[in-house]
Amino acid sequence: MSYAYLFKYIIIGDTGVGKSCLLLQFTDKRFQPVHDLTIGVEFGARMITIDGKQIKLQIWDTAGQESFRSITRSYYRGAAGALLVYDITRRDTFNHLTTWLEDARQHSNSNMVIMLIGNKSDLEARRDVKKEEGEAFAREHGLIFMETSAKTAANVEEAFINTAKEIYQKIQDGVFDINNEANGIKIGPQHSPSNPNMPSPAGGGSQGGGCC
Amino acid sequence: MFSRPKGWIPGLLSKPKNPHSLEHLKYLHGLLCKNQTVTEHNRSLLVETLRSISEILIWGDQNDSTVFDFFLEKNMLSFFLRYLQQKSGRYICVQLLQTLNILFENISNETSLYYLLSNNHINSIIVHKFDFSDEEVMAYYISFLKTLSFKLNRHTIHFFYNEHTNDFALYTEAIKFFNHSEAMVRIAVRTITLNVYKALSPASDVFSAGDTDISSPNQNSTDEEKLMSTLGRSHRMELPGANSEQMQASFSLENRPYLEAIFNALECSENDYEALFALCLLYAMGHNDGIHQDLMDSVLMPTERSEAKDHYNIALVERLIRIITLACQHGIKVRLSTLELSIKLLRQLVFRPGRSYLQDRHLACIENARECSTQLLRNFYKSEEIFLDMFEDEYTQMKNKPLNVEYLTMDASILLPPTGTPLTGIEFSKRLPCGEVERARRAIRVFFLVRDLSLSLMDEREEQLPLNRDNACVRTNDILDLNNSDLIACTVLMRDTRKQDRRFLVIDKLQMILVEPDTRRLGWGVVRFVGSLQDVEVTGDKEDSRSLHITIHKPPSSQHARPIPLLSARFIFDDHIRCMAAKQRLSKGRIKARQQKMQMIERLLDIPGDSSGKTSTPGRARPVPGRSHPVRVHTQPSTTLNQLATPESNEASRRPKSAPAANTSAGKSESASRVSQNEANVEVAEEAAAFAYQTFNQQTGGAVPKRHSPSPEQNNSNVQEIPLEDLSRNKKRHSGRKVSNTKLTGLAHSSSHTRSQSHSPKRDEGLSSNRGRSTSLTINVTKRDRSSTPTRRSHSKSSPAPMVTHSKSRASSQSSASEAPVVPRKSSRDGSSQSPKTLRPADTPALSLLSHDGLLSSSGIDAPKLLPPAEMDRIRSMSDISSTSSDSQNEGSSNSSQNKPSDQRPNFTYNSPSGAEAEVSNINADQNTVELVKEGQSSASDQLTKLAQIVHEHYRSFKDEGEEETNLSHGK
């Protein structure tokens, strides 16, 4: 149960692109073909290991509907990572990425790691957005890009973990102020008693070195 | 097994450590996990656990985010929900509600709050069927809702709308308790309602997600504006260019949600509550200068500003017509205001003064509605007095108080559901009728309104309403030519002011008139008082046989107002006979006036005439004379009564002219006359002596007594007097028939004739009616002058004496009766048309005098001579009159057809049966005879005429001197 770090995520994207299914696949390792429309937010959590460190991911799954946009916005703040999801079989969900990105950039801290995810890669036959297009968009906006399938679980783990790695890397780079919970990063509880002065065992040296 | 003690012991141990810590929450979570089912035994434990959880969560919200993270991670909210679903959940539901209440009330972290609100968890708690009979549950539940409502804003409101059930549970569940017995609950419900509205109002876009138009700052957009913004400019370009005819056909309410809502509100089959508002709104739109005409045109709603209304909104017009049609049905809940407003709106849409744009099929609907309204009213029709009063009352109310939409919308009472209770004080037109009388009133009003609409749409003029034709009525201060009127002198003692006036009572067909002689012109009088005959109430005076108590009530301004007496006075006549005569004529006049109006109503309602025929016959026979001779001069040669009456009546007619010379004496004599009849008579006689008249009168009077005894002759004379008028008409109209009829006419004949006439007076007369009327009037005058005294007539009427020829006499009376309705109208019209202010066509005073004199003399002479001379006289007189008025008029009168019986009458009037026959022959001869008659008359009456002229001259010489005095005397 103890973790070195806690990262908070937010999953955003148009309604019906498979946000909740990604979360479910990631947390429960299962797929639910028919999923209720998310009203407001849902919550999921899972422990992963990066670089030998236990890292807890707390994930806010948000409603894609326009009417809940204002609710969603209140979750950007305090998120270290965001999964921006579109549906490769629906171009309009891809077209809306700009809006989502603007929204995210507007309301999140500038260091938030954003992973662009083209979901439903299992539906290759109905593909409407080429992978290259996604890659190009990600490159253009400085995002990490992956195509996933919540159904087959392809790349789902990777998507969350790679995001965590990116965040972890940023922490190692000293970009994040890990003492500010608003950044969506918390240091695990076991650190405070044992090593209160050392923010993190792994990055402690580098960061500490940076500080001192 | 093993875990249990484990769970228990550490829990007990850890608890005291620190109630506010993540560890404690973990411990509590453990408890929940171990007690997932509520039982009698763990009930208190769970209650305590739940209480503690809320406490820790609130603490964590402010101090340690990990606490709530844990709550989230373990999805502890689902425990709550699961407990609730359990049957035994009621054991802890109060605590559960309290916990949630505390959570929502205190959690400040909005992401936490949003989480709690997400995914309809709260909605499912809200709709959960708690046991509301438990006061505690009720209290916590309602305060939970109230707490939630305070969390409402334009963001969170989305959580509360359950798209699956299409329900806004917080609101819909809360308002179920709006009428709860607990005041606190009711207050909470109000608070919740207000909070919901508050959240809704600033963002009306909430439930119209995706509709960006509405969220535009301009919330008062119209259908068209919305359409514009949706379709862009191209649509705008189309609108004006589109053929309006196409528009009319293609107009649809699609894409016009607002208009559609308004139109749909016009449905009145249930009630007209909403319809009235919709009508007000539509009406206001048409009158609002702020609305562009283009916009109104685009929805095909022409306004008063529109030049043409060729293309109106069919959907709207048909809805309006439906309201109108509905309103004409029995027992429909359409208020009068709604009907009137619908009609107003319909006019606005399709009517311009003098032109209706209504399509034929729609017009047919209106006509149908009119027929229905007539049918409806027919069901309420009763030949009772109250119906007439109501009928006229409603008409004046409708005319005097047309619907004012502005005032209507200012009246708060229309906000209430339509009621039928008069006790609410709500105006009749704004509520439903209560009771049979009000239903009748409503039917009357509906009839008027729809009829009015129909007439104006058909571009027809109202010919039959109001029943009172103003132009035919005399008004106060009018100056009337009374030369040939029946006058009864009397003293009027006003009850309230105690004022005493000497007046002459004239009984018109519809009005009771009090006149004062005109000082300037002989035979003319100034109207001092006018009252509607139908409202006259006469009672005799037990103490004094010469007195009558007469009250005339003003038509009530409203149904409930107490009627105000227009006149309440004691009338003192010169003798009891005159008094009786006056009473009789007044009461008969009242009946007649009412009957006449009822017949008009019957005609309006197309009620078959048989009733009128029956009722009229008995009543008519008497009233005819009164009616037919609205203004008669009392100059009868015969009857003792006449002796008394004549002088006075003569006086009255004479005075104006004679005034200058004789005024002084006359004025004095007037006052004196009050003292006693005898004196008055004497005075009158004295006065009269000054004039040539008197002698004649006296003579006639002297002659009369012989006749006075009820003898055939007399009767004839009485009857005749009246018929004379008729005769003139009859002669010319029915000249062909007359001959045969005159002798043959039995009762049946006459009656049948009369009926036909009475029923179709207007129709028959047609174009020639005017002429006929006018002539008849003039003729009447002459006849009266010569032969009949009012008193006599009444007598004769009251007791139709055995006649020489019974059949004839009856026939005549009947005929007169039948004619009566016709005659009065004609005469009145004539009067109005010719000289609006004189009851009779105003011949020049001098002429009338002459004729008068001539008549008097002739009558006097005739009377004694009996039949043959009378005939001659009459004919002559008639011819004279006609000649005085105009020959053409006579012809006209002849055109206006009258019955044979009437022909007979003339004979009677002359008091000589033979004369009557002679007349008949004359009639047959038609104009030739008339001319002959004239000649004969002139010869016969030459002397009289000359005499009269002399008298006239005489008066004139006195005039200048006398005028001042007369004025003075009148001033009194």
Least confident stretch, A40-54, B11-25, B486-500 = B11-25
- Closest CB to A67: pick one of B66, B115, B158: B158
Residue type at B5? P
Cis peptide before B466 (omega within 30 of 0): yes
Sequence letter at residue B12: L
Distance CA A84, CA B217 (A): 32
B114:A41 CB<8 A = yes
Residue B607's pLDDT band (cuts 50, 70, 90): confident
Between B69, B75, B120, which is nearest A39 by CB? Answer: B120
- Asked whether the beta carbons of residue B206 and residue A58 sit closer than 8 angstroms, the reply is no
Name the percent of chain B lying above pLDDT 70. 54
Average pLDDT over residues B860-865: 39
Asked if B86 is an interface residue toward chain A (Cβ–Cβ < 8 A), one would say: no
SS3 of residue B551 by DSSP: strand
Distance CA B429, CA B338 (A): 8
Of B111, B156, B209, the CB nearest to A75: B111
Biggest alpha carbon–alpha carbon distance for chain A: 56
Residue B18: burial class (beta carbons within 10 Å; 0-12, 13-18, 19+): exposed
Of B552, B514, B366, nearest to B449 by C-alpha is: B366
- Partner residue opposite B69 with nearest CB, options A41, A58, A71: A58
Report CB contact under 8 Å: A78, B111: yes
Which residues lie below 8 Å from residue B17, measured CB to CB, with a gap of 6+? B23, B24
Tens of pLDDT, residues B291-328: 777 777 777 777 777 776 777 788 888 888 888 888 88
For chain B, give every domain's residue range: 10-207, 251-457, 470-591, 592-637+646-971
How distant is the Cα of B155 from the closest Cα of chain A, in angstroms?
A: 6
**How far is Cα B403 from Cα B345, in angstroms, rounded to an integer?**
12
pTM exceeds 0.90 for this model: no
Which residues of A fall within a CB distance of 8 Å from B206? 67
Instruction: Judge: A41–B120 Cβ closer than 8 Å, yes or no.
Output: no
Residues in chain A within 8 Å Cβ distance of B118? 38-42
3-state helix/strand/coil string of B846-912: HHHHHHHHHHHHHHHHHHHHCHHHHHHHHHHHHHHHHHHHCHHHHHHHHHCCCCHHHHHHHHHHCCC
A188 touches chain B (CB under 8 A): no
Residue of B nearest to A38 (CA): B119
Q: How far is B203 from chain A (nearest CA, A)?
A: 11
Helix, strand, coil % in chain B, rounded to nearest 5: 70, 5, 25
Q: State how far the Cα of B901 lies from the Cα of B898, in Å rounded to an integer.
A: 8
B119 to A42: CB separation less than 8 angstroms, yes or no: yes
Minimum-distance CB partner of A41 among B115, B155, B163: B115
pLDDT higher than 80, residue B944: no
Chain B: give the shortest CA distance to residue A93, in Å.
16
Q: Could you tell me if B609 and B602 are in contact, meaning their C-beta atoms sit under 8 angstroms apart?
A: yes
Do the Cβ atoms of A78 and B210 come within 8 Å?
no
Across the strands, what pairs with A84?
A12, A116
**Separation CA A89–CA A119 (nearest Å):** 9
Partners of residue A181 in chain B, C-beta under 8 Å:
65
Instruction: Using pLDDT thresholds of 50, 70 and 90, give the confidence band for residue B222.
Output: low
Q: What ipTM goes with this model?
A: 0.84
| Least confident stretch, B526-530, B577-581, B609-613 | B609-613
Chain A CB within 8 Å of residue B114 CB: yes
Ramachandran sector of residue B267 (left: φ over 0; alpha: ψ -120 to 50; beta: rest) = beta
What is the distance between the alpha carbons of residues B427 and B364, in angstroms, rounded to a whole number?
32
The answer to which of A98-102, B349-353, B427-431, B932-936 has the lowest mean pLDDT is B932-936
Rounded to an integer, what distance in angstroms lies between the CA atom of residue A141 and that of residue A115? 11
Contacts of B117 in chain A (CB under 8 A): 40
Distance CA B358, CA B345 (A): 13
pLDDT at B766 over 50: no
What are A87's strand-pairing partners? A119
Which of A36, A39, A66 is nearest residue B159 as measured by Cβ atoms? A39
Nearest to B110 among A6, A65, A74 (CB): A74
Is B159 a residue whose pLDDT tops 60? yes
Q: Do B118 and A67 touch (CB under 8 A)?
A: no
pLDDT for B443 beyond 60: yes
Smallest Cβ–Cβ distance between A39 and the set B118, B154, B209 belongs to B118
Q: For residue B782, which of B689, B691, B857, B709 has the smallest C-alpha distance?
A: B857
Q: How far apart are CA B486 and CA B588, in angstroms?
A: 15
pLDDT (0 to 100) of residue B141:
93
- A60 contacts in B (CB within 8 Å)? 111
CA distance A35 to chain B (A): 12
Which among A7, A15, A19, A43 is the top mutation candidate for probing chain B, defined by the most B β-carbons within 10 Å of its own β-carbon?
A43
H or E stretch including A171?
helix A156-172
How far is residue B265's CA from residue B276's CA, in Å, rounded to a whole number? 9
Q: How far is A124 from chain B (nearest CA, A)?
A: 31
| Helix or strand (DSSP H, E) at A116 | strand A113-119
Interatomic CA distance for residues A127 and A118, integer angstroms: 10
Contact list in A for residue B170 (CB cut-off 8 A) is: none
* pLDDT at residue number A55: 93
Radius of gyration for the alpha carbons in chain A, expressed in angstroms and rounded: 17
Any chain A CB within 8 A of the CB of B206? yes
Which residues of chain B are within 8 Å of residue A35 when distances are taken between CB atoms? Answer: none
Residues on chain A touching B158 (C-beta within 8 angstroms): 39-40, 65, 67-68, 71
How far is Cα B577 from Cα B790, in angstroms, rounded to an integer? 11
A210 touches chain B (CB under 8 A): no
In chain B, residues with a C-beta closer than 8 Å to the C-beta of A189 are: 66
Inter-chain residue contact A74 with B111, CB threshold 8 Å: yes
Smallest Cα distance from A43 to chain B, Å: 7
A47 in B contact zone (CB under 8 Å): no
Q: Hey, are the CB atoms on A41 and B118 less than 8 Å from each other?
A: yes
Give the best residue of B29, B69, B160 to mutate against chain A (max A CB count within 10 A): B69
The mean pLDDT value for A150-172 works out to: 93
CATH of domain B10-207: 1.25.10.10
Cβ-defined contact of B110 to A58 (cutoff 8 Å): no
Nearest Cα neighbor of B518 from B851, B884, B836, B845 is B845
pLDDT tens-digit readout, B385-433: 778 888 888 888 888 788 888 888 888 888 888 887 877 778 888 888 8
Q: Is the pLDDT of residue B358 over 70?
A: yes
pLDDT at B108 over 50: yes
Closest chain A CA to residue B208: A67
- Given a contact cutoff of 8 angstroms between Cβ atoms, the answer to whether B675 and B574 are in contact is no
Q: Is the pLDDT of residue B689 over 60?
A: no
Supply the pLDDT for residue B562: 60
Task: Find residues 73-102 of chain A whose CB sits inside 8 Å of chain B.
Answer: 74-75, 78
Cβ–Cβ below 8 Å for A60 and B120: no
pLDDT of residue A20: 93
Tokens for B697, please give them: 């009168």
- Residue B430: predicted pLDDT: 84
Kindly state the DSSP code that residue B926 receives in the 8-state scheme: T
**Nearest CB neighbour to A43, from listed B72, B120, B155:** B72
β pairing state of A5-13 and A53-62: parallel
Per the structure block, which two tokens stand in for B497?
């002011």
Rounded to an integer, the average pLDDT of B330-351 is 86
Residue A40 and residue B65: Cβ atoms within 8 Å? Answer: no
Long-range contacts formed by B417-426: CB under 8 A, 24+ apart = B417/B271, B417/B273, B418/B271, B418/B272, B418/B273, B418/B333, B418/B335
Q: For residue A152, what pLDDT is reported?
A: 94
What are B776-815's pLDDT values in tens digits?
A: 333 333 344 444 444 344 343 434 444 444 444 444 444 4
Structure tokens at B79: 């425990």
Residue A58 and residue B114: Cβ atoms within 8 Å? Answer: no
To the nearest whole angstrom, how far is the Cα of B79 from the nearest Cα of chain A?
15
What are the chain B neighbours of A43 within 8 Å (beta carbons)? 72-73, 75, 115
Q: Is the CB of A71 less than 8 angstroms away from the CB of B158?
A: yes
What architecture (CATH level 2) is domain B470-591? Answer: Roll (2.30)
* Cβ–Cβ gap A43/B73 under 8 Å: yes
Instruction: Say what the pLDDT of residue A16 is.
Output: 92
Greatest mean pLDDT range, A20-29, A197-206, B580-589: A20-29
